[in-house]
Chains A and B, each alone.
Chain A
Amino acid sequence: RRRSVRRVLSLRGRRSTPRGLLWRRRGPAFPGADPRGKRPATMEDELYLENIDEFVTDQNRIVTYKWLSFTLGVHVNQAKQMLYDYVERKRKENSGAQLHVTYLVAGNLIQNGHICHKVAVVREDKLEAMKSKLAMIASVHVYSIQKAMLKDSGPLYNTDYDIVKTNLQNCSKFSAIQCAAAVPRTSAEVSQAQTSAQADSQTPNDTHAVNVPTINGHVSSAAKQPSPQPKGIMGMFATKSASKSQDTNKETKPESKEATIATTVSSKAPAKGNAMSNFFGKAAMNKLKVHSECEQPKEEKTVAKPSVSVVEPKSPPSAAVEKPGKKMEPVKIQQKDKRRVKRVDMSDNEKKEDENLKKKRRRIKRPQSDSSEDDDVSVSPTPQEAKPHLPSPEPALKIELEPETTEVSTGGKKRKRKRVLKSKTFVDDEGCMVTEKVYESESCTDSEGEFIKSKLPAAHSQSTAAAKKEPKEDRKGLKKGAATASKANKQVSIMGFFQKK
């Protein structure tokens, strides 16, 4: 588009000017003087006129104000004025010019006794009629100029549609209204908002859930949505390897997820007799829930930062590192502690294995689920290369978390494990969306275990320390050994996950 402007410039010297001197603003006020005062004649004036002339006459386009605004990069109001100016001059110069104009008229119309605001695009010949119909005219301006008479307004729409389509990302750039709130979010924030919206849909007073333990609001939500939640945990640990873009997404997963995870962690911490356990109590967790739902954006950022610092040091002194990072709210503290807890988890692999075994033993008692579930789930676990929105480690996370449920403290929570057949949808390592019906325990302990475990493999896979991986794999192997347990979908999937590996 700009090229045409330059072309005109270059041709200026060579081309004769059949349009005559009228196009050069040399003299004083011309007819239809600008009420805002005279401006010194500049090259730009002539440029736009020539441009419009070229568009209308040579290219035979329908030049709407919006099209002109985007093409020349000017404010919409200026574009409208430019069109008007062109029409006036052209008509003055050559009254028989083949030029058809459509106008936009807006105003108040009395209809059926009440005032209706009407906005209409009219052809020039109907302009006065429309104006006379309106009781009060709010605006009149040129809508478009074209060479041929338009039968209907369809082409006007098409022109506008095309130009907007090519300028979708900055469609409001030349508009007269700018909205401060309308800021496009980064993809990380988008995914976070999406998952938070999902979480919100899960956490509201669901009085219609049948067997959901009522202990912890988010625990039940965790049970319902294990897949997005592990993502959040994943995100927390995954920041370290910046190579994986999805990690940033994961880490910015909604706090509700993280909060639930935090609560699951926190609930599990006391069971482990961790020093952190003193931190967490019902009250803290309830506060956590409240905070999580209102402070997600903040959460996201703080999560990102500490996770970076957390992931690096492997030893418990990581707590010291994290502490300066987060001071604000218990939620964040809990998340940090959660991570720290996980850190401890990672280092205490033997303990974990014992617990896993314990858990496996317990699980074995439960009814067997379908073997098909095992197989299906085994496909899904993957290294954490997942799409930004649906990282595949979900099943891995789920799997991982399961064994942890045993470690979850009772803390007054019910340990009932009811198996409910649920449909789980997630993206596996090949990026395929997999939906499967799996038996899932509906109990806080289960889901908590899920999350906690899920963080571990995520952290492991992200970290460069091989040593860490080994105990984990040992653990995995152990879990593999107890594959027959089929208490809940999660455990089953863990088994399958590691078998495939």
Chain B
Amino acid sequence: MFSEQAACTAQSLLAPPSAEASTFARVPVSTYTNCSQHFRLAERSFNRQYAHIYATRLIQMRPLLLERARQKWGSGIAVKKLCELQTAEKCCIVGTLFKSMQLQPSILREISEEHNLLPQPSRTKYIHQLDELILEDELQRIKLEGAVEVQKLVTGTILAVYGSEREGGRFVVEDHCFADLPRQLPRRGSSTDRFVLLVSGLGLGGGSGESFLGMQLLVDVVTGQLGAEGEQSCAAQISRVILAGNLLSQNTQNKDTLNKAKYLTKKTQAASVEAVKMLDEILLQLSASVPVDVMPGEFDPTNYTLPQQPLHHCMFPLAGAYSTLQLVTNPYQADIDGVRFLGTSGQNINDIFKYSSMEDYLEILEWTLRVGHLSPTAPDTLGCYPFYKTDPFIFTDCPHVYFCGNAPRFRSKELKGAEGQQVLLVTIPDFSATQTACLINLRNLTCQPISFSGFSADEDEGEMEISH
């Protein structure tokens, strides 16, 4: 655990100054490889339809699913395409799921004049009892019924179902299976304690100054200013900091210039400008002391569609001078000291949350791993680049640490796969709300939350207890 051995020297700084003050050297990076090249977009052409990405997704995942299906239901099962189905014949079909939802926001319905509808209010969840599941393959589609959890599944999932077709174009499902966890490369962890700090949702420019002290305390702990010597020596073992998105607050997404009259907005500056300057200063303090990876998030100044490209270095003139600052994509995959990290800033999980009955972000995180796809709802309800040759969100190999940022709470879990894979699932909480970050120990793949607090006037005995 972090700072366990610091206990003995905890009070050493409650003393008159000593002649020498110890300085600790930051643990050097032993190995680091950024494996996110497939999330980088070089040439962007939006001339294509999104059908291609579904087609390539199905093509890529079909062999995996067939293998799983054979493992689960026996190798003798009949695997059929939808066009080959015959009534009342038990077989297995593989396809893409489509969930037709009543409440799904549809732009066509909104602008339809004959219906004269008001725009739909935004909700937290768009599920409805009358939602239906339809399985599509390359040529046909068929409605699914039976032992399949309609509420839980989302559009874009590739799955294999076993059952039989009945009258009326329905397929009654007896069982289904997903691609499950892919194979995992062996982990070459370190023998000594090494930590990676995961933070998300700094929320700069948000207007409320409450989280600023917490943020400063975080930076100070990591850079070794805060704490007694024992704690500082433990902090020197933090080998990397990953900022997982939403560095800027939602409030900086001010679209006043679009709505207000020009004379009102002429000399105003976008709120994100000040926020980015503040972010640059924070990143400068961090990069002067530890390697930092900055992932963009939903409210950050980069492209909206997934995969989000790295923030541009011109926004960070101060911090950009340090080679320890790395601007990376969202989603982000890297090998840090022999441990494979993979994670997003939370948009994929958040989107699945909206269109599925699953409530817990950790549960959704695990579900995406089992389904074998980072973000199945893209491009249906989540913006995505129109890939056509490959779908980069399909898991090719299993990460050791799988995280998502901007979750409402901190949760973590160790997942064990059928083939011996071990994954640490972490949901990083939103820092601006919870003042909590996560420390991952690379030696034994455990996770510990670290929370910060100041004090305020309206507190009594319970000094700002950090949520879970």
Contacts and interface: CB of A to CB of B under 8 A. Distances in A.
A71 B154 CA distance: 58
Given A121-B213, A179-B290, A77 B323 contact: no
A8 interface: no
Given A139-B231, A178-B25, A190-B321, A81 B448 contact: no
Given A138-B7, A179-B26, A208-B387, A172 B285 contact: yes
A180 interface: yes
A172 B289 contact: yes
Given A139-B228, A177-B24, A181-B29, A197 B289 contact: no
Given A104-B227, A164-B281, A178-B26, A84 B13 contact: yes
Nearest to B235: A177
Interface string A123-146: 100100110000011111110000
B318 interface: yes
Contacts of A115: 1, 448
Interface string A79-95: 01110110010000000
A204 B41 CA distance: 8
Those 9 A-B pairs whose CB atoms lie nearest each other, nearest first: A177-B224, A153-B454, A139-B228, A75-B21, A207-B389, A141-B13, A179-B26, A206-B42, A152-B456
Given A81-B17, A120-B455, 6 more contacts: A119-B217, A137-B11, A138-B10, A160-B216, A176-B22, A180-B25
B412 to A, nearest CB: 8
A121 B453 contact: yes
A88 B14 CA distance: 10
Contacts of A183: 322-323
A194 interface: yes
A304 interface: no
B88 interface: no
Interface in A177-219: 177-185, 187, 190, 193-194, 197, 200-210, 212
A32 interface: yes
Contacts of A209: 42-43, 45
B226 interface: yes
A352 interface: no
24 contacts: A34-B16, A45-B17, A82-B17, A114-B449, A116-B466, A118-B452, A119-B227, A121-B453, A121-B454, A130-B463, A137-B7, A139-B6, A140-B14, A141-B228, A157-B209, A157-B454, A171-B285, A177-B24, A177-B26, A177-B224, A205-B37, A208-B385, A209-B45, A221-B42
A120 B26 contact: no
Contacts of B216: 157, 160-161
Interface string B209-230: 1001100110011011111111
A81 B11 CA distance: 10
Nearest to B29: A181
What secondary structure prevails in chain A residues at the interface with B? mixed
Interface in A69-117: 69, 74-78, 80-82, 84-85, 88, 102, 104, 106-108, 111-112, 114-117
Interface in A416-436: none
B19 A39 contact: yes
B468 interface: yes
Interface residues of B, number: 94
Nearest to B292: A182
Interface in A5-45: 32, 34-36, 39, 45
B394 interface: no
Nearest to B24: A177
Interface residue tally on A, bucketed by range: 35 or more
A190 B323 CA distance: 8
B42 A201 contact: yes
A1 interface: no
Contacts of A119: 217, 221, 226-227, 450-453
B10 A139 contact: yes
Given A139-B6, A190-B321, A156 B454 contact: yes
Contact of B232 (A176, A190, A200): A176
A164 B225 CA distance: 12
B463 A122 contact: yes
Interface in A366-406: none
Output the residue of A118, A122, A197 with the most chain B CB within 10 A.
A118
A244 B178 CA distance: 61
A175 interface: yes
B117 interface: no
A206 B455 CA distance: 51
A3 interface: no
A100 to B, nearest CB: 12
B323 A193 contact: yes
Contacts, number: 305
Nearest to A165: B281
B324 interface: yes
A224 interface: yes
Nearest to B213: A157
A184 B6 contact: no
Contact of B289 (A151, A179, A201): A179
Interface string A287-319: 000000000000000000000000000000000
A177 B466 contact: no
A185 B43 contact: no
B446 to A, nearest CB: 10
Contacts of B436: 116
Contacts of A65: 225
Interface string B366-398: 000000000000000000010111100000000
B37 A204 contact: yes
What secondary structure prevails in chain B residues at the interface with A? loop
A34 B291 contact: no
Contacts of A190: 320-321
Given A138-B228, A194-B313, A201-B42, A78 B28 contact: no
A106 B227 contact: yes
Contacts of B13: 77, 80-81, 84, 139-142
A238 B456 CA distance: 59
A116 B456 contact: no
Contact of B324 (A102, A123, A151, A179): A179
Given A66-B220, A80-B13, A115-B1, A181 B26 contact: yes
A155 B344 CA distance: 35
Interface string B24-65: 111011000000011011111101000000000000000000
A154 interface: yes
B66 interface: no
Contacts of B453: 118-121
Given A84-B16, A139-B13, A208 B322 contact: no
Contacts of B320: 190, 194
B192 interface: no
A208 B217 contact: no
A175 B225 contact: yes
Nearest to B447: A114
B23 A75 contact: yes
A460 to B, nearest CB: 31
Nearest to A130: B463
B85 interface: no
A328 interface: no
Contact of A78 (B4, B14, B18, B464): B18
Contacts of A111: 465-466, 468
A207 B390 contact: yes
B290 A117 contact: no
A193 B316 CA distance: 14
Nearest to A156: B213
A168 interface: yes
Contacts of B4: 108, 136, 138
Contacts of B43: 206, 208-210, 212, 224
Given A157-B213, A168-B281, A185-B321, A139 B230 contact: yes
B137 to A, nearest CB: 23
Nearest to B390: A207
Contacts of B388: 208
Contact of B3 (A82, A106, A153, A203): A106
